[in-house]
């Protein structure tokens, strides 16, 4: 592949960056340090506001008796869309020839599509239109997400990735606090959905503008066909075992994270006894405690990971702390205990996402297909969102929300152990 300046950043055979970094690369690192995390913050605000609160409240308004079941249906179908769209978009962005670059056209179009979906949800008269709206949202979100994540290896030198990844992690986690803060400012209704999403998507677009995107100047040698599209969903785990174990690690920890967030509103209402009108404020307060935990660990773990050149010990520790937080949440009989649990959960997941994204970028094959490879990794993020809504209602019916949260905690432990199998990264 021939690219115009800038060219994607890669490591040498030892996994370390070259001894000398050009002034141009240092400038790109500085821009990326601000632009990519800010863009992720905007995108995740647009996603997390409906995911954490607005969808649950909208479905409760439409059909209170079946709201939890309907939420599982909405999330499962939306996650299936994400599962399909994310890796394909990553692969197509690798092939894109545009004056704007490889990634920006997908990010900008994704923002527009996502807001169309938000509009559909906001004015939905029935559950089936919420399903359609959330599916459109997931289409747009993943149009933007896959290319945005691919900008990390595109733009950032290896020794700087832990710092940028830690800020991306902070952005992803703070988005829950900021999104729920905006949601609880409004009464249940369409403004509760429209305003936070609009703010988030505007931030996304403005943040990405200063980045000098990688540009492809020659068409890819490989023809695009059904087989190559199918290959967007797979990689050879025998050829790339470290990527496979990184995939397993992320799958397990995203399961932990999604278990904690998706059913939090219903846990607050059904287990702790708060009303529909109180739920949004209580979820905001809980996510505020989560953000405190994030602030306590994210910067430090990202910096220390870069400083020591190690990734695996920090992923293991953060996974176990996240599992502990979800275990405490399972035993929460009061809102005060829930707040403590959220703090531990934030400490673990914030640190995990900071170091894990840097680890994933370090083990990517150097094949000029970062968007495709990260799209496969992002399946590990989308797949739990498809599977959990299918199994969660049965788990809740059998052992309640405590059983659901303990199941999520077990996945956290498994994810921490899986990272020990990665060999090429310390």
* pLDDT grade for 229, boundaries at 50, 70 and 90: low
| pLDDT given for residue 48 in this prediction | 75
384-398: average pLDDT: 82
Q: How crowded is residue 68: how many other Cβ atoms within 10 Å of its Cβ?
A: 21
pLDDT 10s digits, 315-365? 899 999 999 999 999 999 899 999 999 999 989 988 887 788 778 777 776
Q: How far apart are CA 200 and CA 179, in angstroms?
A: 8
**For 72-95, b where at least 16 C-beta lie within 10 A, e where not — what string?**
bbbbbbbbbbbbbbbbbbbbbbbb
% of the chain residues with pLDDT over 70: 88
Which of 418, 412, 87 has its CA nearest to residue 242?
Answer: 418
pLDDT digits (tens, 9 = 90+) for 284-324: 888 889 888 888 887 777 777 777 878 888 889 999 999 99
Taking the CB of residue 225, how many other CB atoms lie within 10 A of it?
9
* Residue-wise DSSP of 198-248: HHHHHHHHHHHTTS---EE-S--SSPP-HHHHHGGG---TTT-HHHHHHHH
Residue 147 reports pLDDT greater than 80:
yes
CA distance 267 to 274: 9
Q: Which of 126-130, 242-246, 369-373, 409-413 has the lowest mean pLDDT?
A: 369-373
Residue 104 banded pLDDT, cuts 50, 70, 90? very high
DSSP H/E element including 348 = helix 335-363
- Please identify which residue in the block is written with the tokens 């498994």: 414
pLDDT at residue 365 in the model: 67
Q: Angle at the Cα of 313 (from 307 to 317), degrees rounded to 5?
A: 115
CA-closest candidate to residue 352, choices 258, 406, 304, 416: 416
Assess whether pLDDT exceeds 70 at residue 72.
Answer: yes
Q: Kindly tell me if the per-residue pLDDT of 9 is higher than 70.
A: no
Banded pLDDT at 12 (limits 50, 70, 90): very low
Distance between CA atoms of residues 82 and 85, nearest Å: 5
Render pLDDT for 235-292 as a digit per residue (tens, 0 to 9).
Answer: 667 777 888 888 899 899 989 988 887 788 888 888 888 887 788 788 888 888 988 8
Q: How confident is the model at residue 11 (pLDDT cuts 50, 70, 90)?
A: very low
Task: Centre a 10 Å sphere on the Cβ of residue 339 and count the other Cβ atoms it contains.
Answer: 17
Q: What pLDDT is attached to residue 233?
A: 59
Beta strands in 31-123 (DSSP E): none
pLDDT at 14: 38
CB count within 10 Å of CB 217 equals: 9
| Helices 190-208, 104-122: inter-axial angle, 10-degree rounding | 170
CA pair distance 23, 15, nearest whole angstrom:
21
User: Bigger pLDDT: 417 or 226?
Assistant: 417
Using CA atoms, how far apart are residues 115 and 42, in angstroms rounded to an integer?
13
Domains of the chain: 27-213+225-421 (1.20.1250.20)
For residue range 173-213, list pLDDT tens digits in order: 778 778 878 877 877 667 777 888 899 999 999 999 999 88
What rounded mean pLDDT belongs to the chain? 82
DSSP assigned state of 63 = -
Residue 373: pLDDT band by 50, 70, 90 thresholds? Answer: low
Residue 60: count of CB within 10 angstroms of its CB: 21
> Is the pLDDT assigned to residue 3 strictly greater than 60?
no
User: Which DSSP helix (H) or strand (E) runs through 23?
Assistant: helix 23-49
| Closest C-alpha among 321, 286, 310 to residue 420 | 310
Does 106 score more than 50 pLDDT?
Answer: yes
């Amino acid at each position: 592949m021939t690219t115009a300046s800038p060219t994607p950043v890669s490591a040498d055979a030892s996994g370390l960056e070259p001894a000398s970094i050009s002034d141009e690369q240092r400038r790109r690192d500085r821009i990326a340090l601000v632009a990519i995390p800010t863009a992720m913050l905007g995108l995740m605000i647009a996603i997390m506001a409906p995911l954490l609160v607005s969808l649950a409240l909208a479905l409760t308004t439409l059909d209170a008796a079946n709201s939890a079941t309907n939420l599982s249906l909405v999330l499962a179908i939306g996650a299936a869309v994400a599962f399909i769209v994310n890796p394909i978009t990553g692969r197509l962005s690798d092939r894109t020839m545009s004056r704007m670059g490889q990634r920006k056209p997908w990010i900008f179009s994704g923002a527009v599509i996502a807001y169309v979906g938000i509009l559909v949800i906001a004015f939905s008269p029935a559950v089936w239109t919420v399903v359609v709206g959330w599916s459109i949202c997931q289409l747009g979100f993943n149009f933007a997400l896959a290319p945005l994540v691919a900008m990390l290896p595109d733009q950032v030198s290896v020794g700087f990735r832990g710092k940028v990844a830690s800020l991306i992690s902070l952005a992803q986690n703070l988005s829950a606090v900021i999104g729920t803060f905006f949601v609880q400012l409004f009464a249940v209704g369409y403004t509760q959905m429209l305003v936070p999403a609009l703010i988030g998507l505007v931030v996304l677009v403005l943040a990405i503008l200063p980045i000098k995107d990688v540009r492809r100047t020659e068409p890819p040698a490989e023809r695009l066909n059904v087989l190559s599209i199918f290959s967007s969903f797979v990689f050879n785990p025998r050829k790339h075992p470290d990527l496979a174990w990184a995939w397993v690690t992320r799958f397990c920890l995203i399961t932990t994270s999604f278990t904690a967030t998706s059913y939090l509103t219903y846990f607050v209402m059904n287990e702790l006894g708060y009303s529909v009108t109180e739920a949004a404020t209580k979820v905001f307060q809980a996510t505020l405690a989560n953000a405190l935990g994030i602030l306590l660990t994210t910067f430090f773990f990202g910096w220390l990971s870069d400083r020591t050149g190690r990734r695996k010990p920090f992923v293991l520790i953060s996974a176990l702390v996240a599992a502990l937080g979800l275990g405490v949440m399972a035993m929460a009989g009061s809102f005060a205990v829930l707040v403590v649990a959220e703090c531990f959960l934030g400490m673990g997941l914030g640190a995990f996402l900071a170091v894990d994204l840097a680890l994933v970028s370090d083990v990517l094959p150097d094949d000029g297909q970062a968007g495709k490879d990260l799209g496969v990794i992002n399946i590990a993020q989308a797949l739990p969102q498809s599977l959990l809504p299918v199994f969660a209602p049965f788990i809740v019916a059998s052992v309640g929300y405590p059983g659901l949260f303990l199941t999520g905690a077990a996945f956290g432990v498994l994810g921490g152990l899986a990272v020990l199998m990665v060999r090429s990264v310390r």
